[in-house]
């Protein structure tokens, strides 16, 4: 049997995304049913690592597409310091807790979902493993159709999760015309996802020398793409293992720029949001201090070899599916290029996850 690799899962994403879209009723219908059954006015998303980053994007989807209050949360922080409703104006049946855990064993996510259920809130888990621990502590379980990943870093699972969350949002919005357009655009993107993979790998290959020889990497994004910046930071940190920090673009300019020098690399993620032109101004300014400045976008810009401008076009809410792929290659292929085996987790302490049965 061929050994599973992160690069293998990265290149399997087109198939996985198409299959998930074809089987969308399996994960959309049960989620929408919860909204039909209860008068939901607020959705709280929880997850750790990749699942937290997906939660940040999910909250953006539900606020901007559905028009409902939503937030992405760190499970332990929420459990110990937050309340579901600080205004005390919502009933417990109006607040939905959603726990995202591909393995279903994330200790902190399991604990916050158990806490929410014990306190009478509506709880739902999105997980690939329908027999996992998290399923024992929620009212509703939805299957994440990404298949099990046998390597520690999750890549295929992340993009399938984002597609799932997007389809949840457009289906919950109850706008038939918007839904039909969303499905059509999702199909167009997933049908052409091989091109996203190929362009991302080619971009990494032509820039790998400076990227893997950087002192530090910054991943910058805004709007819906702040979640993409967090995921880029995580993937590079856990595989390539060069100090990597994710920032909202404007925030990066308030202090961290004082450490900028020519051996640091900056990645901008930009889609059709209000800050796009502002991002290009920052790009021009940062190039005075380092030529290792890269833009990841599908919009037309005055690009050079350091940039990746995807030929596949989509809407800003689906763009995170594309924008994570270049960082997956920086992380996985970069690690391979410098001799790191990403199939092995060198941190052996069982603190983050519960044991699988």
Q: What is the CATH number of the domain that holds 265?
A: 3.40.50.10490
The pTM of the full predicted model, rounded to 2 decimals, is: 0.95
Residue 352 lies in a domain: no
Query: What's the pLDDT at 352?
Result: 58
Together in a domain, 182 and 43: yes
CB 264 within 8 A of CB 218: yes
**pLDDT for res 349:** 64
Q: What is the pLDDT of residue 273?
A: 86
Q: Report pLDDT for 272.
A: 86
Counting beta carbons within 10 angstroms of the beta carbon of residue 258, is it exposed (0 to 12), middle (13 to 18) or buried (19 or more)?
exposed
For position 351, what pLDDT does the model report? Answer: 58
Range of the domain at 262: 192-337
| End position of a domain, from candidates 155, 189, 223 | 189
pLDDT tens series, the chain, 357 aa: 457 899 999 999 999 999 999 999 999 999 999 999 999 999 999 999 999 999 999 999 999 999 999 999 999 999 999 999 999 999 999 999 999 999 999 999 999 999 999 999 999 999 999 999 999 999 999 999 999 998 888 999 999 999 999 999 999 998 778 899 999 999 999 999 999 999 999 999 999 999 999 999 999 999 999 999 999 999 999 999 999 999 999 999 999 999 999 999 999 999 988 899 999 999 999 999 999 999 999 999 999 999 999 999 999 999 999 999 999 999 999 999 999 988 777 766 665 566 665
Is the domain of 42 the same as that of 69?
yes
167/186 Cα distance (integer angstroms):
9
Reference 326, options 208, 154, 247; nearest CA is 208
SS3 1: coil
Co-location of 29 and 174 in the same domain: yes
What pLDDT sits at residue 348? Answer: 63
Backbone angles phi, psi at 217, to 5 degrees: -120, 140
Query: How does DSSP classify residue 63?
Result: I
Burial letters for 320-333: b for 16+ Cβ neighbours within 10 Å, e otherwise?
bbbbbbbbbbbbbb
In this structure, are 146 and 201 located in the same domain? no
Instruction: State phi, psi for 309 to the nearest 5 degrees.
Output: -110, 105
Are both 115 and 82 inside the same structural domain?
yes
**How many distinct structural domains can be found in the chain?**
2
DSSP state of 65: I
Instruction: Locate 168 and state its tokens.
Output: 């949840």
DSSP 356: P
Bridge partners, 243 (sequence order): none
Indicate if 158 and 250 belong to the same structural domain: no
Q: Are residues 87 and 166 in the same domain?
A: yes
What pLDDT score does 10 carry?
97
With beta carbons less than 8 A apart as the criterion, state whether 102 and 157 touch.
Answer: yes
How much is the pLDDT for 330?
98
């Amino acid at each position: 049997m061929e050994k599973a690799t992160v690069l293998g899962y990265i290149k399997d994403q087109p198939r996985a995304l198409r299959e998930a879209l074809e089987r969308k009723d399996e994960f959309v219908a049960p989620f929408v049913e919860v909204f039909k059954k209860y008068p939901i006015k607020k959705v709280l998303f929880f997850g750790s690592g990749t699942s937290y980053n997906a939660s940040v994007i999910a909250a953006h989807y539900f606020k901007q597409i559905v028009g409902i209050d939503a937030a992405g949360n760190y499970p332990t922080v929420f459990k110990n310091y937050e309340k579901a409703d600080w205004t005390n104006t919502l009933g417990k049946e109006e607040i939905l807790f959603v726990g995202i855990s591909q393995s279903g064993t994330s200790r902190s996510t399991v604990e916050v979902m158990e806490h929410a259920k014990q306190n009478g809130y509506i709880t739902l888990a999105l997980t690939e493993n329908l027999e996992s621990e998290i399923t024992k502590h929620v009212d509703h379980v939805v299957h994440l159709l990404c298949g099990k990943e046998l390597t520690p870093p999750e890549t295929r699972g992340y993009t399938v999760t984002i597609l799932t969350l997007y389809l949840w949002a457009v289906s919950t919005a109850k706008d038939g015309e918007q839904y039909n357009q969303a499905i059509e655009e999702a199909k167009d993107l997933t049908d052409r996802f091989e091109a996203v993979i190929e362009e991302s790998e080619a971009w990494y290959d032509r820039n790998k020398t400076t990227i893997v020889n950087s002192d530090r990497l910054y991943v910058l994004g805004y709007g819906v793409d702040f979640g993409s910046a967090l995921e880029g930071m995580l993937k590079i940190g856990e595989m390539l293992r060069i100090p990597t920090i994710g920032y909202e673009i404007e925030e990066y300019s308030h202090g961290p720029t004082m450490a900028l020098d020519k051996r640091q690399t900056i990645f901008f993620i930009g889609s059709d949001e209000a800050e796009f032109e502002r991002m290009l101004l920052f790009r021009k300014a940062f190039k005075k201090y380092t030529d290792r400045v890269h833009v990841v976008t599908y919009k037309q810009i005055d690009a050079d070899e350091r940039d990746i401008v995807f030929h596949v076009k989509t809407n800003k809410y689906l763009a995170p599916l594309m924008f994570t792929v270049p960082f997956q290659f920086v992380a996985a292929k970069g690690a391979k290029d410098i001799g790191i085996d990403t199939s092995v987790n060198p941190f052996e302490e069982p603190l983050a996850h519960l044991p699988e049965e």
